[in-house]
Structure 1
């Protein structure tokens, strides 16, 4: 049954020249897209949200944190707000 589900594959390129691919069910792209977003924009949003969520969890709910990790979390939160126009706390309802 899972083979009947259409998928879309994205290629990811990094500044260092490395690449990877990720394949996701096409229907999920449609489900999480905001308005008339492209598939690439949707994957970009989900990626940034995922990094912000993980960073928040590690810094605020993990075992240990240090200044470098806190700086990384602060930067991803700035990037989150730049992209979405709201803070992570406003978007998720999870504030500290």
Structure 2
């Protein structure tokens, strides 16, 4: 049954020239897309949201964080606000 579901493969490349691919169900990408977003934009949004969420959790709900980790979390939150036009707290309703 699951083999019958259409998929989309996204290629990822980094500044150090390493690459990877991730394959996702196409319908799931469509489900979370906003408006006429492309697959790449949708996956980019979800990627940034996921990293912001994980960083927030580690820093604010984990076993403690050092200054470097707190700086990384602050930077991803800045990038989140630049991309989405609202803070992470405003977007998620989760503020400290």
Q: Determine helix, strand or coil for the equivalent of 1:65.
A: coil
Deviation, structure 1 residue 29: 0.8
How far apart, CA to CA, are the structure 2 residues paired with 1:72 and 1:26? 32
Q: CA deviation at 1:64?
A: 1.8
Post-superposition Cα deviations, 1:23-59, rounded to whole Å, max 9, x if no partner, equal: 0000011100011100000000000000000000000
Give ranges in structure 1 of 5+ residues lacking alignment.
none
Write out aligned runs for 1:1-96 (5 A): 1-96=1-96
What SS is found at the alignment partner of 2:59?
helix
Distance apart, 1:80 and its partner CA = 0.2
Give structure 2 stretches of 5+ with no counterpart: none
Q: Distance in 1 between matches of 2:40 and 2:21?
A: 13
Figure out how many residues of one structure are paired with residues of the other and give that number. Answer: 96
Separation (CA, whole Å) in 2 of partners of 1:34 and 1:7: 19
TM-score by length of 1: 0.99
TM-score normalised over the length of structure 2: 0.99
Which aligned segments of 4 or more residues in structure 1 are displaced greater than 2 angstroms?
none
